[in-house]
Chains A and B, each alone.
Chain A
């Protein structure tokens, strides 16, 4: 991975690394990809992916309201609100 790919990765994840952190990440990534070669020692071509370790698929419960929070409750932890809305910078000029 080069610094340009890392720059795109940072942007995608809304993060900004310092130069020192970038060096550390690239070294970490290099080590992980090197070590990952061990995975290729196992032939998995005919092995099915296992997403769930337990046989549970698409669990849906009855669609009913079981608890209701007020707008005030839901906004208690908000960094900024205005007139009952979450406040963010202007998105459209």
Chain B
């Protein structure tokens, strides 16, 4: 499987790979779906223009799982990506690992870039919601998704975040320039003194993953940073609450793919209903169909209050729980996945595995809090505390593998 769906053969120098969820007017944007095979955008995503204006070259569009909601890209219409060891790995993470790109820009709608970076021993930031423009990213779960940056080092991730963070009038959820500046490396910060370990979430992982958490804990303690376990039992609700909100938002966002104005159109139709239904049925994969139907059902008259409405209330409970933790601690340490390696056998046995693995990634997705992945673990901080997390991550970088 080619890592790039579209490649810029001329790229040299400071090259950034884009997950194929980021719109570009030079290369097609497929979102890993038959629905958008060959789709050309008329414009670039804001992050692409910012990178190009700052002198970076776009290496191309990296293969992604369909609409980027899967575990590690396994649902791509163009084929799953496996690394040299036969493990599933996202294409953008592999491109960075191999040195083909300085960094990769992804869309963290369901934790995929964070999961990949943790498993591949890389550094990744999911910045505070609203600090990087989502204009020109393919919408999935608008209330929680963010643009993410993956690289092999903390310094490379910071370099790219400095370029892409900032207010954008074209994104209605973009924060003020003043707020966005808080996540850049020039902002002042105090180094972390205390880190909390999310006990229940860590206990849910396997022994190898727990060992990675223990290693991170030991590394922090060696630097004089106190590390203590906290009761995080309420954070266990984030998975199911986010599964509801993400699917509900996704079901609305993908309703635009109907085979009329752009994208795939079936050849098998005589009526408009057949055109819609057969185009979507033939173009969408199993996981996406499931997510659409599930999301739609969470919004039904019968289920709205007990599912969607409940999810929105749980979101506030989670935001308040994190705020309570951050009264004492500077960051929350937790795994990014149950295991340290996934193969096709895992996703063949459970094609909905990403919904289960949200246990680890949903707490930050649903709350919009920043996360830095390094050394195979997630560090979640309060809003705009990216520099605190990067500072902690320097202790861990390179330790993941």
Q: Please list the residues of chain A having a beta carbon within 8 angstroms of any beta carbon in chain B.
A: 1, 6, 9-10, 12-17, 21, 24-25, 28-29, 31-32, 35-36, 38-42, 44, 47-54, 56, 59, 61, 67, 69, 73-80, 86, 88-89, 91
Contact = CB atoms under 8 A, between A and B. Distances in A.
A14 B284 CA distance: 11
Given A24-B290, A25-B290, 12 more contacts: A9-B293, A15-B280, A15-B292, A28-B352, A32-B243, A36-B240, A38-B237, A48-B313, A69-B42, A77-B262, A88-B275, A89-B272
Contact of B289 (A21, A32, A44): A21
Contacts of A10: 293
Interface string B196-239: 00000000000000000000000000000000000000101101
A65 to B, nearest CB: 14
Interface in B229-262: 234, 236-237, 239-241, 243-244, 251, 255, 258-262
B130 A14 contact: no
A67 B42 CA distance: 11
B173 A56 contact: yes
Interface residues of B, number: 69
A44 B143 contact: no
B293 A42 contact: no
Nearest to A91: B272
Interface of B: 39-40, 42-43, 129-130, 143-144, 169, 172-173, 175, 234, 236-237, 239-241, 243-244, 251, 255, 258-265, 269-278, 280-281, 284, 286, 289-290, 292-294, 296-297, 307, 309-317, 319, 351-352, 355, 366-368, 383
A25 B264 CA distance: 24
A53 B368 contact: yes
Given A15-B280, A51-B143, A36 B307 contact: yes
